[in-house]
Amino acid sequence: MAQQLAESLPRGRQELTHHDGIKIRVFETPERTSLAAAIRIIDVANYNPLAAITFATGETMKPVYEELAGLAHILNISFAGITAFHLDEYWPSEPDNPFSFRNFLRKRVFGPLRIPADNIHEIDGSAVDLQEEARLYDEALKRGVDLAILGIGPGGHIGFNERGTPFDSRTHVANLAQDTIERDHERGEYVSDKALTQGIETILEADQIILVAYGEEKGRYLAEALYGEISENCPASALREVGHKVTIFVDQEAANVIMQARDWKIQESID
Ligand code: F6R
């Protein structure tokens, strides 16, 4: 088993360091990228069995969480003391909505990792008083988060912090951007135009942040976030303000776009 595991371990093909301190780890394929991200999460739980972790959902995370559940089982890493937070949740989403993030995380993370219900902070997508739900959630997050796991979506959104979200935002009600709504529509998923999301400031307070992305389109979002202006027009660019605690896991396709943007930036500064 150890031999098998050792053989499947992803070797970083490249590690790029961004001028704001962000580490970018590049792997050949999405599979290797997701395995590497899962190993990072395992490391956190192994090092601190009482850690608090914020979990994103989405297509990017499916293979990460599948690897995570497998590794936790094989390596016998307990998540019984882990505190879990949602990054966001559609609103309205009733508890039985199959596309709710609550169901996603219960099925792929909380259940397989056997995180006790008492340790799980779910955002209530059926809350009537949204502002109060957001306020209470933010209060709960003040205990501190050791690791925040993020993806990146249209317009460089992180969580459901869309373009124009202030960097000092706390957990709040978000209006989804048109490109996010269209993406969800095209995927045949639940389509809502509102969500509750951890704010940018809330996310940046985590001790460590990882962001996972595969493919050219995600590479473009990241290129803008890393080499464009740090601005509310690109929510993920806020990560550069806490670059020393951010690691980005990308596949080669996404990395190619990022490296192109970096090279243009270098060229621009020479000209
Ligand atoms: C999900 C979330 C979003 C997604 C992003 C990418 O909880 O907060 O920011 O991470 O929209 O989604 P996928 O991975 O489905 O492309």
Whose C-alpha lies nearest to ligand 1, atom 9? 159
- For residue range 216-258, what is the model confidence (pLDDT) as tens digits? 999 999 999 999 999 999 999 999 999 999 999 999 999 999 9
**CA dihedral over 41, 184, 174, 125, signed as positive or negative:** negative
Q: How large is the angle between the packed helices 30-47 and 61-75, nearest 10 degrees? A: 50
pLDDT-based confidence at residue 3 (cuts at 50, 70, 90): low
* Pair of tokens at residue 217: 């389109």
* pLDDT tens per residue across span 129-157: 999 999 999 999 999 999 999 999 999 99
Is 141 touching ligand 1 by the criterion CB < 6 Å?
no
The two structure tokens encoding residue 2: 């150890």
* Ligand 1 atom nearest residue 150's Cα: 10
Closest atom of ligand 1 to 61 CA is 14
Q: What is the pLDDT of residue 4?
A: 61
pLDDT band at 5 (very low <50, low <70, confident <90, very high): low
DSSP 209: E
Residue of higher predicted confidence among 124 and 12: 124
pLDDT score of 96: 85
pLDDT value, residue 191? 86
In angstroms, what is the span from residue 235 Cα to ligand 1's centroid?
Answer: 13
The confidence score (pLDDT) of residue 268 equals 86
CA distance linking residue 73 with residue 163, whole number of Å: 39
Determine the pLDDT at residue 243. Answer: 98
Neighbours of 14 (CB within 10 A): 13
pLDDT, one tens digit per residue, over 20-37 is 999 999 999 999 999 999
Q: Which of 178, 114, 187, 149 is nearest to 43 (CA)?
A: 149
Q: What pLDDT was estimated at residue 14?
A: 87
Q: What is the pLDDT of residues 23-74, one digit of tens each?
A: 999 999 999 999 999 999 999 999 999 999 999 999 999 999 999 999 999 9
Confidence bin at 203 (pLDDT 50/70/90): very high
Cα–Cα distance, 61 to 30 (Å, whole number): 11
| pLDDT at residue 195, as a whole number | 97
As a whole number of angstroms, the distance between CA 17 and CA 27 comes to: 15
Mean confidence (pLDDT) of the chain: 95
Minimum-distance ligand 1 atom for the alpha carbon of 154: 11
Pocket perturbation via mutation, ligand 1, pick of 34, 53, 54, 61 by most ligand atoms within 8 A of CB:
61
Q: Which atom of ligand 1 is nearest to the CA of 60?
A: 14
Give mean pLDDT, residues 171-182.
97
- Whether the pLDDT of residue 170 is over 60: the answer is yes
